[in-house]
């Protein structure tokens, strides 16, 4: 049995899935070295055997820097390696989307951790804030085409308000554990 994994269909990316829009056929794959092994009904997919190479390609050419001391994992996150004994297909846009979410979570981690320890300098705070804007996130590969960022951020704010916490902390707690191990 094959499992189709698209734009956050697994529980670990449920919040992204709630605001995902269908990916364009072969989105983001025109300049890739790793070519989709499967093309079905105008959509392109990577296989289990390709996903780590596709991840390395997505992260090696990622257009925005991570915070100091943070790096992308060498292999695709656990999201891409379900331990269920099945074969999987991943939309070709998904490595870029997950890399963008990993990047966002890294910046959220900077904001939430350094605010707690009061070590966030004014210069660093400006950098963090610039990197956490909707426009910056939407500028990353395959994000704007596949995620309703404004709706996602509104949902995070609603959740934060319901819990009486700030939006960055809420998003980090709710949606970044899969990337941070917390």
pLDDT at 88: 92
pLDDT at 11: 33
pTM, full prediction? 0.79
pLDDT tens sequence across 48-69: 999 999 999 999 999 999 998 8
Q: Summarize the chain as % helix, strand, coil (round to 5).
A: 50, 10, 40
Contact, 140 vs 100, CB < 8 A?
yes
pLDDT at 136: 96
Of the candidates 147, 124, 134, the residue with the CA atom closest to the CA atom of residue 67: 124
pLDDT at 26: 38
Residues in the chain with pLDDT values less than 70: 1-32, 114-120, 180-182
- Those residues whose C-beta lies under 8 Å from the C-beta of residue 145, and which sit 6 or more positions away, are 21, 23, 24, 27, 93
Residue 146 DSSP label:
T
pLDDT at 19: 38
- Which two structure tokens, joined as six digits, stand for 126? 């400006």
- Distance, CA of 181 to CA of 115 (rounded, Å): 20
pLDDT at 123: 73
Rg of the chain (C-alpha set): 16
pLDDT at 16: 36
Q: What percent of the chain has pLDDT over 90?
A: 55
- Which two structure tokens, joined as six digits, stand for 18? 């709630």
pLDDT at 122: 74
Domain positions in the chain:
2-180
């Amino acid at each position: 049995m094959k499992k189709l994994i698209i734009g956050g269909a697994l529980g670990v990316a449920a919040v992204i899935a709630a605001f995902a829009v269908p990916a364009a056929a072969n989105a983001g794959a025109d300049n890739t070295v790793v070519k989709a092994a499967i093309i079905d009904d105008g959509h392109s997919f990577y296989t289990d055997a390709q996903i780590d190479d596709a991840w390395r390609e997505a992260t090696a050419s990622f257009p925005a820097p991570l915070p100091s001391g943070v790096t992308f994992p060498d292999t695709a996150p656990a999201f891409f390696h379900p331990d269920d004994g099945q074969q999987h297909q991943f939309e070709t846009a998904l490595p870029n989307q997950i890399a963008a979410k990993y990047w966002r979570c890294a910046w959220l981690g900077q904001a939430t951790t350094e605010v707690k320890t009061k070590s966030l300098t004014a210069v660093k705070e400006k950098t963090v804030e610039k990197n956490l804007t909707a426009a910056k996130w939407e500028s990353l590969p395959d994000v704007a085409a596949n995620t309703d960022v404004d709706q996602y951020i509104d949902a995070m704010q609603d959740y934060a308000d319901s819990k009486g916490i700030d939006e960055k902390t809420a998003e980090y707690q709710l949606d970044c554990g899969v990337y941070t191990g917390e």
